[in-house]
Structure 1
Amino acid sequence: MSDFPRWKYALVALVMLFGIVYALPNAFIPSPAVQVTANRDAPPIDPSIQQKVTAALAKQSIATGEVIVQGDQLLATFANTDVQKSGADAIRTALGDGYTVAFKLQSSVPAWLRAVGARSMPLGLDLQGGVHFLMQVDQDDVLDKQEDSYADDIRGLLRDKNIHYESVARNVVHGTGVAVILHSADDRAKSSDAIANEFTDLNVSNGPNTSDRFVLNAVIKPEKLRTLSSGTITQNLETLRNRINALGVSEPLIQQQGDNRIVVELAGVQDPAEAKKLIGATATLQYRAGIGYPNDPAAQDAARTGNIPPNANLYYMRGTHAPVLVSKRIIVTGNELTDASSGTDTRSGTPNVNVTLNAAGAKKMGDFTNDNIGKPMAVVYVERVVDTQMVDGKEVRTPKITETVINDATIQGAFSRQFETSGLGSPKEASDLALLLKGGALAAPVDIVEERVIGASLGQDNIDKGFKAVMLGLALVLLAAAIYYKLFGLVADIALFFNLVILVAVMSLIGVTLTMPGVAGIVLTLGMAIDANVLICERVREELRNGSTPHAAIRAGYEKAWSTILDANVTHLIAALALTTMGTGAIKGFGVTLMIGILTSLFTSVTLTHAFTALIHGHRKLKTLSV
């Protein structure tokens, strides 16, 4: 009789139920949709915008599933991609340039499944379509920033050493280092020794001199330049990952190509406009010492005459465009922020960004505010955008940097690590800025030099082919097992089917992105999963030939085959783990699918088949087995 315990029956039933529930969302095909978000100066999304969009679609007789407002976004669903495109064109015409209209695939999974955390498996670029960006990192900007930093440090060093100098500034010719101008040969010699001892990454040499001007050149060493270049790429990769994760794109591909390029692939993003705005942006904040307040006489005079004090920059306030003089001295920048979140100022009711500084930034901010209570401090919003124009039939991209003051207020008391910045135009602008700051600042600007959109129709063709491959492989394996092993083969077929169901359920639950290599991993998993049942069936046959009773043969077959099955799957698991941990992109996707498939196969091929076999044969007398 059967010795299969009842708790294992319960376990098998629960796992089968789990597989069915969490694999079911993949049967619901997502609906083509259009997502609308408000740009910086546009009115926020509200019911009036919803009515305007509904009226525009009805006017052009474009059928839509639903038009709903979700937070600060509006979503309109359509029956197919052709109607989706027509709907997007109609919405753009109705709303104008103040809103970003992007394509999207909206999940159609029922609410009761979503309530238990069930969701469809995200699809990769090759299955779902999406956008491909090739981005060029501006390494020259890194060199300029580093030379400016060295210039500041050298000025501080010379002041500490009481060495008088005329000026310390980055050379006009790019990449030629920092020029230090002194008044005597003795000062130059002292400066040379001090700089060489303090900054070992600089090559210091004498430059041309006149009767009263002695020049010293400090140039960054080649090995330091290589380290800077490598670090820039690494930081940009990490920053882009943070920003794209905030977009909600599942398992994006972000990797380095060559010395100064980065490849970004975003599955499911059919309109690249919103993604480009976020991943290419270099918006950040600079906290600077203020010289005056907006519209004070000195600022108005500087704006009118162009005579700006040498220690100041002339900026304009966001919104009012009032001139304001701001010190060139930067206290902290966005690079020193560790966290940022958007909110609302409790006193003024205006949008703000709550920021948290790292230890170094907190010390600098604490020292400055403690020494300058009652004086102004300006918050400068720095944004770099790329202006794209068509010249002679070619796309020309021109970087443009805008700097505006969003806040210029009096320091009421000392603060350091945590504080808030107000003066932002809208809640969405505060949210976008917080997202950029939290994701980190790009170490160097990036320009998109190549852009491709992979249509959803091509992805659907890949899905159809992948589905046919899985079904064909599954059908052939099921047929071969049923013919050769009869009833035991049919039990193995049921286990193989549930292996596929549980594999899809686990991948969906943990959010594994399915790609074509992942489909290959599923097909390979199904092929390998039947091996365990072949071993079990052959062991049972062997026991029957040796004269064992049917029940004893079943028991011995599972016990003796287990060690062989475990050994074989452990070696497969090690290989899959190596692919997962060391591989990237398609290789990693294949490894993850294979690793999950091996684990599910161990359960279904042994425990699930044993449960079904015990259920069929366990409570009746047997003369032989259909194996």
Structure 2
Amino acid sequence: MNHYPIWKSTLIAIAIVFGLIFASPNLFPEQPALQLKALQPTAAIDAQSDAIRTALQASGIPYAGFRADKDRVIIRFDSNENQAKAKAYFDKHYNDRFYDAMTITPATPDWMQSIGLKPITKGLDLRGGVYLLLQVDTSFLISRLGEANLQDIQSAMDDAKIDAKALTVVDNGSVKVTLQNADDLTSLENLLYKKRPDLTRVVDPNDSTVLTALVTEAELNRRKAIAVEQNTTTLRSRMNSIGVAEPSITRQGMDRIVVQLPGLSDPNDAISLIQSTASLEYYMVDEEAQASGKRKFGVKFINDENGRPVALKRKMIISGENIIDASSGLDNQSSQNIVSVVLDEAGAAKMGENTHENVGKPMAVVYIEFKPVQKVAENGETVTEMVKEEKVISVATINGQFSKRFQTTGNFTPKEARDLARSLRSGALVAPVYVIEERTVGPSAGKQNIEQGKNAIALGFVLVMIFMLIYYRKFGIVAVTALLLNVVFIIALLSFIGATLTLPGIAGVVLTMGMAVDANVLIFERIREELRTGKPPREAIKLGFDNAFSTITDANITTLIAAAILFSFGTGPIKGFAVTLSIGILTSMFTAIMVSRFIIHYWIERRRPKTLSI
């Protein structure tokens, strides 16, 4: 008896078991759900779960499932109506304790999820959700860069005792320095070479007292790229802070960011948080300029909440970038809403040094926010510009040294305090962003796309099955069995690696089905050729598989190369198509070459036919 190698039989058995296990979570439907996350990130997940269960029992709203997942709680419902009721209930009674977001989640049993078995992640076009294209406004980054460069140069010149008649910010964050004495020019050039080697020093040929510290185009582009990357990281942190599941936030081009929030059926809170640029900056008050009301070098005036100007020293102590944690609450003495902040090490050192040196002097807190404003350009087109709004929300006398932890007061409403704390906690945006494109795919549209995708796969499978059964008869049954296992393997692998399935991905599955039977067609035609030469069934089958192997391998390798190019240079759905196609090619080779051969070998050994029905 011609035995089939045991290792191959074992491999096929393991692959089938693996495929069935990892594909099984996709048998469960999706249900409307509510995600809840505590406002205070330090709250334990167990304490959150207990509080939410108690709230659900008090509300009398039925729910289908309850799961504590990492730092959030997900509640599943049987209907959209119960989901909406639960959101309204938590918005009304627990908005000071939890962030809530309506979403869609699979009804996979908890025991499956506990061992890592999860269904395929669906993209926006299948699951529904929000697509946002954000423009990063780098003009304010340049303005801020110029201000920082001016402060650095001024501080270095003061330490070196080099007198300047004027320092002004010019194009691209560069700084123009006008000296009191032309004899200090060489000293200034040496100073800038040591302190700020990133700046190019250009002396005015007509005036030896004027030197411009230039920001090069390469340096400017580098800083813009860093700003976009930092904004991407900050936005990802913000989405995680409100419990948005599986957000996709990626950079596009030089100054744009793509945000995809799958499964989010109520995007308003997320969009508001994405565009939120609220931050805080801390400055010392210039008491002399405040008393006289006169403008002078190194001082700027910003109005307070009552419209009165406050004279601030231009040198900023710390900003929102130095804040690593923030929470809202009530002051025990004044009962005002407050925001408690925690600084990073660099910020704590600056604040500690400043408060130590300025005990008894006033310090101001400036609230800053960027808002998009529609304007009509000279050519008649409507353009969006970011307008910076800033106001002094607090001026307090420093009574003693503090550094890492302190409280900021202001005329906050409870919601304003919570939103500001949330923005600060998730990180300040390096440059403001605004939405230039928004698309929302509703859950019903996503379900319709899924149904159409399932119908396409089912129709493709049936048509291929009919053709193979008619044309290759019993061998057609082998091809159909291998094709069915191929689909199972594709689903299992997509679930295992956590790939996102989109409509183009479904197209890749359908295409793979045709390519999978193509390998069987090559093998079966080779077997037919061998039978025509008078070979016995066993030998014809062996030669058919062996001779077709190189052809199948070459064809699939060339397709894999094309898929790799699509994945490397494509974006979004194109990458999804490439991933699905690549997985399908690999699984189709396995099912066509190994699974089909095993089934045929087993049938031949059991039946020992004199002729083959092919």
Pair in the same fold by TM > 0.5: yes
Q: With structure 2 as the length reference, what TM-score do the two structures score?
A: 0.75
Report the equivalent of 1:320: none
Tell me how far apart the structure 1 counterparts of residues 8 and 363 of structure 2 sit (CA, whole Å): 64
- Structure 2 CA distance for partners of 1:382 and 1:226, relative to 1, 3 Å: same
- Structure 2 CA distance for partners of 1:253 and 1:227, relative to 1, 3 Å: closer
Q: With structure 1 as the length reference, what TM-score do the two structures score?
A: 0.74
Report the equivalent of 2:552: 565
Q: Is 1:498 equivalent to 2:485 in the alignment?
A: yes
1:621, distance to aligned residue in structure 2 (A): 3.0
Report the equivalent of 1:593: 580
Identity of aligned residues (%): 32
Report the equivalent of 1:113: 112
* Contact preservation (8 Å) 1:352, 1:424: yes
In structure 2, what residue type is equivalent to 1:262? I
> RMSD of aligned C-alpha atoms?
5.2
Q: Is 1:276 equivalent to 2:271 in the alignment?
A: yes
In structure 2, what residue type is equivalent to 1:13? A
Report the equivalent of 1:13: 13
Report the equivalent of 1:615: 602
Choose from 180, 185, 188 the match for 1:183: 180
1:460, distance to aligned residue in structure 2 (A): 0.7
Choose from 582, 601, 606 the match for 2:569: 582
- Structure 2 CA distance for partners of 1:379 and 1:3, relative to 1, 3 Å: farther
Q: Equivalent residues in 2 for 1:190-589 (5 A)?
A: 200-201=199-200, 205=204, 220=215, 225=220, 228-237=223-232, 239-240=234-235, 249-250=245-246, 252=248, 254-256=250-252, 260-276=255-271, 278-281=273-276, 436-437=426-427, 442-589=429-576
Tell me how far apart the structure 1 counterparts of residues 322 and 88 of structure 2 sit (CA, whole Å): 42
Tell me how far apart the structure 2 counterparts of residues 516 and 199 of structure 1 sit (CA, whole Å): 48
Q: Deviations over 1:384-426 (max 9, x none)?
A: 5567999xxxx99976568889x999889xxxxxx97576999
* Contact preservation (8 Å) 1:25, 1:119: yes
- Structure 2 CA distance for partners of 1:385 and 1:29, relative to 1, 3 Å: farther
Tell me how far apart the structure 2 counterparts of residues 52 and 179 of structure 1 sit (CA, whole Å): 62
1:78, distance to aligned residue in structure 2 (A): 2.3
Report the equivalent of 2:377: none
* Contact preservation (8 Å) 1:241, 1:254: no
* Contact preservation (8 Å) 2:130, 2:262: yes
Q: Deviations over 1:113-144 (max 9, x none)?
A: 22332101111011111112232322221111
- Structure 2 CA distance for partners of 1:204 and 1:472, relative to 1, 3 Å: farther
- Structure 2 CA distance for partners of 1:223 and 1:302, relative to 1, 3 Å: closer
* Contact preservation (8 Å) 1:280, 1:447: yes
Q: Which runs of 5+ in 1 are unaligned?
A: 292-297, 316-324, 344-350, 413-418
Tell me how far apart the structure 2 counterparts of residues 87 and 367 of structure 1 sit (CA, whole Å): 46
Report the equivalent of 2:3: 3
In structure 2, what residue type is equivalent to 1:267? P
Q: Equivalent residues in 2 for 1:36-115 (5 A)?
A: 36-39=36-39, 47=50, 50-52=53-55, 54-56=57-59, 58=60, 63-65=62-64, 73=72, 75-95=74-94, 99-115=98-114
- Structure 2 CA distance for partners of 1:493 and 1:67, relative to 1, 3 Å: closer
* Contact preservation (8 Å) 1:352, 1:420: no
Tell me how far apart the structure 2 counterparts of residues 83 and 168 of structure 1 sit (CA, whole Å): 63
- Specify the SS of the correspondent of 2:91: helix
Q: Is 1:138 equivalent to 2:144 in the alignment?
A: no
1:112, distance to aligned residue in structure 2 (A): 2.9
1:245, distance to aligned residue in structure 2 (A): 7.1
In structure 1, what residue type is equivalent to 2:250? I
Report the equivalent of 2:30: 30
Tell me how far apart the structure 1 counterparts of residues 5 and 363 of structure 2 sit (CA, whole Å): 70
- Structure 2 CA distance for partners of 1:73 and 1:131, relative to 1, 3 Å: same
Tell me how far apart the structure 1 counterparts of residues 65 and 608 of structure 2 sit (CA, whole Å): 61
Tell me how far apart the structure 2 counterparts of residues 380 and 35 of structure 1 sit (CA, whole Å): 38
* Contact preservation (8 Å) 1:386, 1:447: no
Tell me how far apart the structure 2 counterparts of residues 159 and 268 of structure 1 sit (CA, whole Å): 56
* Contact preservation (8 Å) 1:202, 1:220: no
* Contact preservation (8 Å) 2:28, 2:108: yes
* Contact preservation (8 Å) 2:62, 2:77: yes
1:583, distance to aligned residue in structure 2 (A): 1.3
- Specify the SS of the correspondent of 1:580: helix
Aligned length: 575
1:576, distance to aligned residue in structure 2 (A): 0.9
1:558, distance to aligned residue in structure 2 (A): 1.5
1:230, distance to aligned residue in structure 2 (A): 4.9
Q: Deviations over 1:140-167 (max 9, x none)?
A: 2111111112212322443465421255
1:330, distance to aligned residue in structure 2 (A): 5.7
* Contact preservation (8 Å) 2:63, 2:78: yes
- Structure 2 CA distance for partners of 1:523 and 1:547, relative to 1, 3 Å: same
